[in-house]
Amino acid sequence: MAPAKKRNVKLANSSQASPKKTKIDLSSKVEGILESRKNANDVFDIFEFLQSEEEKDVVQAVDACGHLFCQLLETRRLYRGKLPEEEEALKGPHSAEDKYHIFMRHRYHSCVEMLLEHLSHELHGVQEVSLCCLMKFAAGQGQHPLEDLDWSQHFSFPVKLLQAVVDRLLSRTADQSLLISRFQEFLEKDDVRYYIMGCIRQNLVRVMDHSKGKDMAAYLNNVFSLMCNISMPKKEAELCNFMLPQEAKHEDWKATKLNEHKRNFEWMWLGLLKYKLPSSMYKKILVILHDSILPHLRTPTLMIDFLTAAYDVGGAISLLALNALFVLMHQHNLDYPDFYKKLYNLLEPSIFHVKYRARFFHLLDLFLTSSHLPLYLVAAFAKRLARLALLAPPTALLILLPFIANLVRRHPSCRVLLHKPGADDEAVEDPFVMEEEEPAQCGALDSSLWEIKTLQRHYHPDVAKAAMLFNTPLSGGEDDINRLLETTTYQLMEKDLKVSSKKVPLEFEGATRLLDADKDVLGRLFCLH
């Protein structure tokens, strides 16, 4: 939205009144401006309040401007068409009515510019009322266009105003997440959401292409916050909530087509993902990718390169890429031959301490559910998990042991790992190679799950009890590990402390002195003189 060249140009032969900073005064000035063209210059008094340092004055001025210019838009008292320069128009051969319309149109642009500046105001209250007023203007322009646009493209929708709002929301320095959450209300309008997605994409191209060597953390967080607030419809019948009035819509309008919404949504996300992002941003995107992004893409397989690259990174990013990769494999026939090999190599001691441990084990259980997996692969996973159990904390062990038991239940041929002949009678070298990256060559089938025998003497009684279950024939029903995925150390300690309120005896004979030479070995070995 282009600003007026000179804001101090006043319409000739119009009265002026000295402003008083009260709500009643602003309301009366608005009414006076709407009643007579002679009061047109009173708009400058409202602008003085709009630039005040007092929040209350600014809020009242924003309300006054919203009422004034929405009325002028509705009554078509703003100049329509290409806006001429103000000074030349007021001196030119235009009629008095045209000069008034040109004058008020320039004031409208000046107001929009000041409201856009207020979107970066230090006070959130000023930001919020300014945003709401700008969106009122957008609705007014949608219903009463100021310019004749190409109806085959945008149907006179105020795209320029929306682009200006998006540019301010996507600040490069300030955190605008709070204001963006307020903007979510307007994104519920289907036509607004459609054009906002295009505005975000244009902003990304303009900003990111010139951001080499600059800190873009604040900007990217704002972009992600705004994009996450976009909720896509699932069916075309849901496209029924428009800001543009029903009678103004055309049957070929792109904003009424679900496929066009998906196109904009796809271009918007691909436009972000083509740039190099910080690892924290990748994690945020991967957390929502399978549920909030992939289902709304026209061609979900376009994410293959991004996901395979993320899966190769390792660590938490690889764990988070699993969900979306599984969706592409299961629903879109993605051929990923090394999937289980890479999944196998993700099993490292660090998985017990990452933030997304519960999600990983839920997905791992899902991936190993199929009964068509080869025996060597299931045995490799069971053996690797058992070896990792020797290094795992109790909270992780309470997940791992039922997990391994479920694998044996699903694949009875793996019971040979539990009952290896001669494994308990003599000490032999374990043929399993933990460092081998290929599951088929790790030697799991030639080994046994001796690690579980070791865990039967674990210091934590719950772990020892879970490991002892392997000594009995495993029941046919699988254990529900989902209820164990979120178990924390604090919860385990609370459980142990609440098991019994009775005092726990530490010795069956009370101590009479520090070292008892007659009964205590320590007393016999050490004599105090």
- So what's the pLDDT on residue 496? 67
Closest CA to 67 of 118, 121, 29: 29
Cα 144 to the chain's mean position, in Å?
A: 36
Separation of alpha carbons 253 and 69, rounded Å: 27
The three state secondary structure string of 478-521 is CCCCHHHCCCCHHHHHHHHHHCCCCCCCCCCCCCCCCCCCCCCH
Are 360 and 287 spatial neighbours (Cβ–Cβ below 8 Å)? Answer: no
Cα 273 to the chain's mean position, in Å?
A: 14
pLDDT tens digits for range 313-348: 877 788 888 888 888 888 888 777 788 888 899 899
Q: DSSP for 183-211?
A: HHHHHTSHHHHHHHHHHHHHHHHHHHTT-
Least confident of 105-109, 243-247, 471-475: 243-247
Compute CA distances 129 → 86, 135, 234, 393, whole Å.
29, 10, 32, 52
Q: Which residue has the higher pLDDT, 16 or 404?
A: 404
- The CB-based long-range contact list for 308-316 (8 Å cut-off, 24+ gap) reads 308/336, 310/282, 310/286, 311/342, 312/342, 313/282, 314/346, 315/350, 315/354, 316/283, 316/354, 316/355, 316/356
pLDDT of residue 151 exceeding 80, the answer is no
Separation of alpha carbons 156 and 146, rounded Å: 8
Q: Which residue has the higher pLDDT, 133 or 495?
A: 133
- The letter for the amino acid at 429 is E
What is the overall mean pLDDT for the chain? 84
- Give the DSSP letter of residue 85: P
pLDDT of residue 486 exceeding 90, the answer is no
Tell me the H-state helices in 75-123: 86-91, 96-118
Separation of alpha carbons 354 and 7, rounded Å: 58
In 133-280, the DSSP E strands lie at none
Compute CA distances 343 → 314, 315, 338, 361, 458, whole Å.
10, 11, 8, 11, 28
pLDDT tens digits for range 227-269: 999 999 989 888 888 888 765 566 678 888 999 999 999 999 9
Q: Which residue has the higher pLDDT, 392 or 8?
A: 392
Residue whose pair of structure tokens reads 């999944």 in the numeric block: 343
Separation of alpha carbons 491 and 398, rounded Å: 12
Length of the chain: 529
- So what's the pLDDT on residue 180? 96
**Cα R_g (the chain), whole angstroms:** 35
Question: Model pTM?
Answer: 0.78
Compute CA distances 414 → 366, 399, 406, 439, 447, whole Å.
18, 19, 11, 15, 11
Q: Above pLDDT 70, what percent of the chain?
A: 82
Q: Which two tokens stand for residue 188?
A: 């519920």
Separation of alpha carbons 368 and 379, rounded Å: 11
pLDDT tens digits for range 488-527: 766 677 766 666 555 655 666 666 666 665 656 666 666 6
- So what's the pLDDT on residue 7? 46
